[in-house]
Structure 1
Amino acid sequence: MSSQANSPAALPLLPKIKSKPILDQVFTHRSLLRRPKRAFEDPPNSPNRDNEQLVNLGDQVFGLVLTDLIRDSFPHLSVGPSSKVRDRLKYHGTLAKAAVLYGLHERLLVQAAQADEVKKSVHAQAEVFKAYVGGVYKEQGLDVARDWLRSLFQADVREAYESERREHLLPPV
């Protein structure tokens, strides 16, 4: 996250998820349900209620929005550098910081024995952020998710672009 978005006052409003089933799924960590990590499919009578499917969905939505934002911000940027700018922002540290700024990691439902470790994990923080993005998309659609994420990451896209320019030994814009 950009330095200007370090304070909660600078954050765009978090879209509210109204659906209790979606909200519960966003914040339910796999450890709470004691699901095996490497299951091929869930049993038909056991609905998947942890956040892994929303994490996967949110990751795709975030990547799409980010690619679109980069393309709109820098329409002449080649595909290779554009992908590098996007990859800088899809890094777990960036997403974890967003989760912490919104306090999403504190709402994560985790098996008690693992709660402190999981909630402090950069990976788990990034995953709950992506799950929230997936939940927003599932409940409210792409427009709401896009508007929120574009507002949240606009400055970060500019910073990542400038970093990529420096790596290519180009002067700042």
Structure 2
Amino acid sequence: MGQPAFQPLERALGHKFEREHLLVQALTHSSLAHEHHLSEIAGDEAPPEDNEQLEFLGDAVIGLLVAESLFKRFPELSEGELTRLRSALVSRKHLGQVGARLKLGKYLLLGKGEERSGGRKKSALLANGIEAVIAALYLDAGLEIARAFVEREVLEPSVMDLQKELLEGRSIGDHKSALQEYLQANKGSQPVYIVKGESGPDHRKRFTVEVRVADNGTAGKALARGMGTTKKKAEQEAARRAMEKLTAATIVAVVKETAGE
């Protein structure tokens, strides 16, 4: 990590790592670790550790710090309103934007396949990387350094705008609630979430969930799929993608109607 190539990232994080291997691990995607394992399985060199365990820890650390900050900032908000704000701030979409703003993608250590598929720009990889980096900050320097980073990069750029949207009655954060409200208002139906797959060992599970439109008591048409480290995260991601599709379809329909098609 003494390499000059990583110094700009450490400056952006506001911390010089004492245990440099923590930042390396936080930036190492499982695709690289897997490729090393396959190529060196007969040798003595151990494959690099990937960032999935740090991602797990970082998810808990960021959840705590965001919840604490919101609790102190907005004592007038209800539990439900605070929950929606927290959901927005720790969402894959928001953390991916944080990663993109910090140019985290250029520092990710990826396998060749992930590199070719544009992994450095994938929002999900950037979000996972941010969680892993926050865990690395916490382990290397303690909670206060992690808190300073979360306040500066995760909360400050967006929290007041999100609070304004919340007070204006707009749906934020809880994509499942937003999808349910949309379907009830426009189709008179409910979303149904179905787990379509699980992968990985017990300590680093990945879930794939499909959201469908309930039709006469049965799970009808599929809307979207989402992935996450928990079933709840996968459901939220599926709901987010479904809302994007439904919103886009509504815009297209309005444009066609306006054009007289």
Counterparts of 1:31 and 1:123, CA distance in 2 = 14
| Identity between Structure 1 and Structure 2 (%) | 27
- The amino acid of 2:68's aligned partner reads D
- The amino acid of 2:15's aligned partner reads P
Counterparts of 1:118 and 1:79, CA distance in 2 = 36
Q: Give the drift of 1:140.
A: 0.6
Counterparts of 1:155 and 1:100, CA distance in 2 = 13
Q: Deviations over 1:15-61 (max 9, x none)?
A: 333322111101110001118xxxxxxxxxx7871000111111111
Instruction: Provide the TM-score with structure 1 as the length reference.
Output: 0.78
Counterparts of 2:15 and 2:169, CA distance in 1 = 35
The answer to whether residue 114 in structure 2 is matched with residue 118 in structure 1 is no
Which residue is 2:58 aligned to?
58
How much is the aligned-residue C-alpha RMSD, in angstroms? 2.3
Counterparts of 1:18 and 1:26, CA distance in 2 = 14
- The amino acid of 2:123's aligned partner reads V
- The amino acid of 2:31's aligned partner reads S
Structure 1: segments with no counterpart, 5+ residues: 1-10, 36-45, 169-173
The answer to whether residue 160 in structure 2 is matched with residue 158 in structure 1 is yes
Q: Is the 8 A contact 1:92 1:126 kept in 2?
A: yes
| Aligned ranges 1:1-173 → 2 under 5 Å | 14-34=14-34, 49-116=49-116, 117-152=118-153, 153-167=155-169
Structure 1 pair 23–47 and aligned structure 2 pair: CA distance change class (3 A): same
More strand by share: 2
Structure 1 pair 14–100 and aligned structure 2 pair: CA distance change class (3 A): farther
Counterparts of 1:60 and 1:129, CA distance in 2 = 12
- The amino acid of 1:159's aligned partner reads D
- The amino acid of 1:27's aligned partner reads L
Q: Is the 8 A contact 2:100 2:121 kept in 1?
A: no
Q: Is the 8 A contact 1:69 1:154 kept in 2?
A: no
- The amino acid of 1:156's aligned partner reads S
- The amino acid of 1:166's aligned partner reads E
Instruction: Provide the TM-score with structure 2 as the length reference.
Output: 0.53
Counterparts of 1:73 and 1:12, CA distance in 2 = 25
Counterparts of 1:131 and 1:82, CA distance in 2 = 24
Structure 1 pair 52–13 and aligned structure 2 pair: CA distance change class (3 A): closer
- The amino acid of 2:140's aligned partner reads E
Q: Which moved more, 1:24-33 or 1:92-101?
A: 92-101
Counterparts of 1:109 and 1:48, CA distance in 2 = 10
Q: Is the 8 A contact 2:12 2:102 kept in 1?
A: no
Runs of 4+ in 1 over 4 A off after TM superposition: none
* Partner SS, residue 58 of structure 2: helix
Q: Give the drift of 1:155.
A: 4.1
- Higher relative contact order at CA 8 Å, sep ≥6: structure 1 or structure 2? 1
Greater C-alpha Rg: 2
How many residue pairs are counted as aligned between the two chains? 149
Which residue is 1:6 aligned to?
none
Counterparts of 2:47 and 2:33, CA distance in 1 = 11
Which residue is 1:4 aligned to?
none
* Partner SS, residue 158 of structure 2: helix
Counterparts of 1:12 and 1:161, CA distance in 2 = 26
* Partner SS, residue 34 of structure 1: helix
